[in-house]
Amino acid sequence: MVLNSYSKINLSLSINNKLKSGLHEIQTYFCLINLRDKIKISTNSKKKDQIFFSGPFARNIKRSNNTITNLLKFLRKIKLISNYYSVKVIKNVPVFGGLGGGTSNAAYILRYLLKEKINKKLFYKIEKLIGSDFKLFFYKQGFLENFKTIKVLKKKQKLIFLLSRPNINCSTREIYSKVTKFSKKNKFSYSKINTKRKFINQILNNKNDLQPIVEKKYPIIKKLLNDINKEKGCYLSRLSGSGSVCYGVFNHQSTAKKALHKIKRRYPRFWFSIAKTV
């Protein structure tokens, strides 16, 4: 079986509080995009899982300790699976980029193995094991209101993205450790986002609270985001999650491609791609 493991983009990210557990409570508008890893999974007769990574972003992943190995071990421990698996992953999604590639891999494998029949108790246990963004990969677009609540968007907006990853590995733990201010919680309203223009305006009225922290540590990211934002047809530019992937939201694929060719000349060593919502 071959699975598409889609990545996500945080269109906004507000940090509302720090809990006693050490985790931060956040709100975020998010969407899945068609930039994806390819996963080939099958049972094997050996008494161990065999996990292989290839592709442009495979080199930074530990074969013995990753979201896939941790998920399979956990599912066997609680006796939800008994088989062992051969898993081959083509890593097209940048790691340490804020796109949730590793979490996505675990989410899509879980959906495949359990045929999407996952109760809440099990879900929260796996989320604790894999990561707090685990739940996002079960929705194409939405608003994370708090740790347990996602508001699904009634009308899916079609968005075009120009993506760029500088040669920087952002540590999520380090970036969150530098958070000293918190934003007020937003109240979700469907009427504010029921057209594309309203949706874009809502995103513009929000921000990514982690972005100034990342920009201070890595000034090149601020410069890249400013350059993307100046391009014709760009609604906004922003950092996804804790970074380091930067993106611009464009009005058309053609304008995004033109912007890509121009900016790529300025940053020839950076990774670039065009993507759209799933």
pLDDT > 70 fraction of the chain, expressed in percent and rounded? 100
Question: Could you tell me which residues are beta bridge partners of residue 15?
Answer: 26
The pairing of beta strand 24-44 with beta strand 14-18: antiparallel
The order of strands in the sheet holding 271-276 is 234-239, 246-250, 160-165, 271-276
User: Whole domain around residue 191: which residue ranges?
Assistant: 154-276
pLDDT at 250: 98
Q: Which of 37, 91, 133, 227 is catalytic?
A: 133
Task: For residues 129 and 165, state if they share a domain.
Answer: no
Query: What number is the average pLDDT over the span 164-171?
Result: 94
pLDDT at 63: 82
Q: Which of 8, 37, 91, 227 is catalytic?
A: 8
Task: For residues 169 and 139, state if they share a domain.
Answer: no
pLDDT at 92: 98
Lowest mean pLDDT among 10-19, 74-83, 111-120, 133-142: 111-120
Task: For residues 118 and 216, state if they share a domain.
Answer: no
Q: What is the pLDDT of residues 26-81, one digit of tens each?
A: 999 999 999 999 999 999 998 899 999 999 999 888 888 899 999 999 999 999 99
Task: For residues 195 and 119, state if they share a domain.
Answer: no
Instruction: For residue 246, give the CATH number of its domain.
Output: 3.30.70.890
Query: What number is the average pLDDT over the span 193-210?
Result: 95
133 is catalytic: yes
Q: Is 220 exposed, middle or buried (0-12, 13-18, 19+ CB in 10 A)?
A: middle
Task: For residues 14 and 146, state if they share a domain.
Answer: yes
Alpha-helix residue ranges (DSSP H) falling in the chain: 67-77, 101-113, 120-130, 172-177, 196-204, 211-217, 219-229, 253-266
Query: What number is the average pLDDT over the span 150-177?
Result: 94
Task: For residues 133 and 184, state if they share a domain.
Answer: no
Burial 64-93 (b: 16+ CB within 10 A, else e): eebbbbebbebbeeeeebeeebebebbbbb
The pairing of beta strand 50-54 with beta strand 84-90: parallel
CB atoms within 10 A of CB 197: 10
Task: For residues 143 and 163, state if they share a domain.
Answer: no
pLDDT at 155: 87
Last residue of a domain, one of 129, 151, 173: 151
Task: For residues 140 and 158, state if they share a domain.
Answer: no
Last residue of a domain, one of 151, 173, 198: 151
Query: What number is the average pLDDT over the span 184-195?
Result: 90
Q: How many domains does the chain have?
A: 2
Query: What number is the average pLDDT over the span 9-32?
Result: 92
Give residue 20's pLDDT band: very low, low, confident or very high (50, 70, 90).
confident
Give me the phi and psi of 219, to 5 degrees please: -55, -25
Query: What number is the average pLDDT over the span 191-206?
Result: 94
Q: What is the pLDDT of residues 87-125, one digit of tens each?
A: 999 999 999 999 999 999 999 999 999 986 788 889 999
13 DSSP assignment: B
pLDDT at 22: 78
Task: For residues 121 and 229, state if they share a domain.
Answer: no
Give residue 179's pLDDT band: very low, low, confident or very high (50, 70, 90).
very high
pLDDT at 224: 98
Last residue of a domain, one of 135, 151, 167: 151
217 is catalytic: no
Give residue 154's pLDDT band: very low, low, confident or very high (50, 70, 90).
confident
CB atoms within 10 A of CB 39: 21
Mean confidence (pLDDT) of the chain: 94
Task: For residues 122 and 232, state if they share a domain.
Answer: no
Task: For residues 146 and 209, state if they share a domain.
Answer: no
- CA dist 46 and 273 (Å) reads 38
Query: What number is the average pLDDT over the span 197-224?
Result: 97
First-last CA distance in the chain = 20
pLDDT at 41: 98
